[in-house]
Each structure stands twice: as C-alpha cells, then as structure tokens.
C-alpha cells in the first residue's frame, strides 16, 4: 500500500472507532446522560459542549464534552432522519429543532447555522410543550426510549 492508501484506511478505521464509541456511550450511558443534561439545563437554562469545557460554574456531568457532543449530534441526526425538524420562525438565522421526552420530561435541541453550526440543549417553552402535547406538532416529539433502541438495534445488525 502506498502512503495515500494508508492515510485513507487510517481515516476510515478512526471514523469507525469513533462511531463505535458513540454507540457504546449512547447505549450504556444514554439514560444517565439524559437525566444529567436535564438537571443542568434546568439549572443553567441551556447546555452545550463549550459549557462543559469553559462553563462557570462547571456543569456537574459524569461524562466529557466529547460525549455531550455525541448526544447532541446523534439526537439531532435521529430526529432529522425519523420525524424531520421544525424551525424557530422567529430566529433570523437558519435553524432546526428536535424534541425528546423521557419520563414526562422534555429536552429540546436547538441548532443554528451561520458561519458555523452551534447546537445546545434547552427546555422547550410552555407554548411549545402545549403544542407538542395537544396538536399535530406533536409528531416532532420523540420518545427517548426509541432513540436508545435505535442504537441497540444497530449493534444487533
């Protein structure tokens, strides 16, 4: 193999390893992470990877900013692929939302694109919770169990 082939092979091996770490974290720590994220969001108002690294006070999480990134990315991808994403019409930036529920608690992921992309967890406002619970908008509400089971099924395949 030449150097370019080795670099490509190494890239794909590293990507596969990262995907396995991500799946493993979601399957084995997902419920714990959801609870800890929810607690921090209720305390702080929102939570993203930078908060774990730079936040004052530091969030009390049993996992790293990389693993929080796994949750943000994986949950948004799951929502996009399974129910689609509504947008915040009042925002001047391109954005998309995702909503997850576990044990009657809801988390929202807000992703904004511009000169880069940033995403964070927050609690949906009362109006949004009402729409998710009582209207056709509820199609966007994902049960967190379904998200975890999706990853468990990927491992089985």
Helix axis angle, 3-44 relative to 144-156, nearest 10°?
160
Checking if the pLDDT of 21 tops 70, the result is yes
| Alpha carbon distance, N-terminus to C-terminus of the chain | 31
Write out pLDDT tens, residues 33-63.
999 999 999 999 999 999 988 988 889 999 9
pTM (whole model) above 0.75:
yes
Indicate whether 15 pLDDT > 90: no
**Any idea where the domains of the chain sit in the sequence?**
3-156
pLDDT for residue 115: 85
Q: What band does 20 get if pLDDT is binned at 50, 70 and 90?
A: confident
Residue 1 has pLDDT above 90, yes or no: no
Q: Which has more confidence, 100 or 2?
A: 100
Note the pLDDT tens digit of each residue in 65-82.
999 999 999 999 999 999
């Amino acid at each position: 193999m030449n150097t370019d082939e080795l670099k490509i092979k190494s890239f794909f091996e590293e990507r596969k390893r990262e995907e396995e770490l991500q799946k493993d974290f979601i399957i084995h720590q997902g419920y714990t992470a959801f609870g800890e994220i929810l607690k921090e969001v209720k305390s702080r108002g929102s939570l993203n990877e930078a908060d774990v690294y730079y936040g004052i006070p530091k969030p009390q999480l049993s996992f790293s900013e990389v693993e929080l990134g796994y949750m943000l990315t994986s949950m948004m991808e799951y929502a996009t692929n399974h129910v689609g994403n509504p947008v915040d019409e009042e925002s001047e930036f391109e954005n998309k939302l995702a909503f997850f529920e576990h044990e009657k608690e809801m988390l929202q992921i807000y992703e904004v694109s511009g000169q880069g992309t940033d995403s964070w967890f927050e609690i949906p406002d009362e109006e949004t919770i009402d729409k998710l619970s009582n209207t056709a908008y509820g199609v966007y509400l994902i049960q967190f169990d379904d998200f975890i089971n999706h990853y468990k099924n990927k491992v089985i395949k």
